[in-house]
Protein backbone atom coordinates (compact mmCIF):
# COMPACT_ATOMS: atom_id res chain seq x y z
CA UNK A 1 0.00 0.00 0.00
CA UNK A 2 1.46 3.34 -1.10
CA UNK A 3 0.40 6.28 1.02
CA UNK A 4 2.67 8.76 -0.76
CA UNK A 5 0.49 8.67 -3.89
CA UNK A 6 -2.60 9.49 -1.83
CA UNK A 7 -0.91 12.54 -0.34
CA UNK A 8 0.05 13.82 -3.77
CA UNK A 9 -3.53 13.45 -5.05
CA UNK A 10 -4.86 15.19 -1.99
CA UNK A 11 -2.55 18.13 -2.60
CA UNK A 12 -3.86 18.53 -6.15
CA UNK A 13 -7.45 18.82 -4.94
CA UNK A 14 -6.78 21.15 -2.04
CA UNK A 15 -8.04 24.59 -2.86
CA UNK A 16 -7.55 27.84 -1.08
CA UNK A 17 -10.53 28.95 0.88
CA UNK A 18 -11.89 32.38 0.13
CA UNK A 19 -12.15 34.56 3.16
CA UNK A 20 -15.11 36.90 3.36
CA UNK A 21 -14.39 40.16 5.08
CA UNK A 22 -18.02 41.18 5.28
CA UNK A 23 -17.45 44.19 3.07
CA UNK A 24 -19.20 44.37 -0.26
CA UNK A 25 -18.00 46.45 -3.14
CA UNK A 26 -20.48 48.62 -4.95
CA UNK A 27 -20.76 48.20 -8.66
CA UNK A 28 -19.42 51.23 -10.43
CA UNK A 29 -20.71 50.36 -13.88
CA UNK A 30 -24.18 51.38 -14.97
CA UNK A 31 -26.28 50.60 -18.00
CA UNK A 32 -27.15 53.39 -20.40
CA UNK A 33 -29.82 53.50 -23.08
CA UNK A 34 -29.69 55.97 -25.93
CA UNK A 35 -32.61 56.38 -28.32
CA UNK A 36 -31.74 57.69 -31.76
CA UNK A 37 -33.51 60.69 -33.29
CA UNK A 38 -35.29 58.31 -35.69
CA UNK A 39 -36.50 56.28 -32.72
CA UNK A 40 -37.80 59.43 -31.05
CA UNK A 41 -39.59 60.45 -34.26
CA UNK A 42 -41.22 57.03 -34.45
CA UNK A 43 -42.39 57.35 -30.85
CA UNK A 44 -43.94 60.75 -31.59
CA UNK A 45 -45.66 59.38 -34.71
CA UNK A 46 -47.02 56.37 -32.81
CA UNK A 47 -48.41 58.65 -30.11
CA UNK A 48 -50.07 60.88 -32.72
CA UNK A 49 -51.71 57.88 -34.38
CA UNK A 50 -52.84 56.58 -31.01
CA UNK A 51 -54.46 59.92 -30.15
CA UNK A 52 -56.16 60.31 -33.55
CA UNK A 53 -59.84 59.35 -33.70
CA UNK A 54 -60.79 56.15 -35.52
CA UNK A 55 -63.64 57.86 -37.39
CA UNK A 56 -63.24 61.16 -39.23
CA UNK A 57 -66.45 62.84 -38.17
CA UNK A 58 -65.88 65.79 -40.54
CA UNK A 59 -66.32 63.40 -43.49
CA UNK A 60 -68.76 60.89 -42.01
CA UNK A 61 -71.32 63.33 -40.54
CA UNK A 62 -72.44 64.91 -43.87
CA UNK A 63 -72.70 61.50 -45.53
CA UNK A 64 -74.67 60.11 -42.62
CA UNK A 65 -77.05 63.06 -42.82
CA UNK A 66 -77.56 62.50 -46.57
CA UNK A 67 -78.31 58.80 -46.02
CA UNK A 68 -80.84 59.61 -43.27
CA UNK A 69 -82.53 62.23 -45.46
CA UNK A 70 -82.59 59.90 -48.46
CA UNK A 71 -80.62 62.38 -50.55
CA UNK A 72 -77.43 60.30 -50.82
CA UNK A 73 -76.95 59.37 -54.45
CA UNK A 74 -74.22 57.13 -55.82
CA UNK A 75 -73.41 57.17 -59.49
CA UNK A 76 -73.50 53.61 -60.87
CA UNK A 77 -70.65 54.46 -63.26
CA UNK A 78 -68.43 55.78 -60.46
CA UNK A 79 -69.22 52.74 -58.34
CA UNK A 80 -68.37 50.35 -61.20
CA UNK A 81 -65.14 52.22 -61.99
CA UNK A 82 -63.98 51.99 -58.38
CA UNK A 83 -64.80 48.29 -58.19
CA UNK A 84 -62.91 47.57 -61.40
CA UNK A 85 -59.94 49.63 -60.19
CA UNK A 86 -59.91 47.64 -56.94
CA UNK A 87 -59.82 44.23 -58.64
CA UNK A 88 -57.77 45.08 -61.71
Exposure string (b/e) for 26-40, b if CB count within 10 Å is 16 or more? eeeeeeeeeeeeeee
DSSP 77: H
% the chain with pLDDT above 70: 69
Its pTM stands at 0.37
Q: How far apart are CA 86 and CA 80, in angstroms?
A: 10
User: Does 20 have pLDDT greater than 90?
Assistant: no
Across the chain, mean pLDDT equals 83
∠ CA 60-62-63 to the nearest 5 degrees? 65
pLDDT band at 53 (very low <50, low <70, confident <90, very high): confident
List of residues 6+ apart from 13 with CB closer than 8 A? none
Amino acid sequence: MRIEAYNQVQQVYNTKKVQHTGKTEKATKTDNVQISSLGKDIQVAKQAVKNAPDIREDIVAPLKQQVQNGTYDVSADDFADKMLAEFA
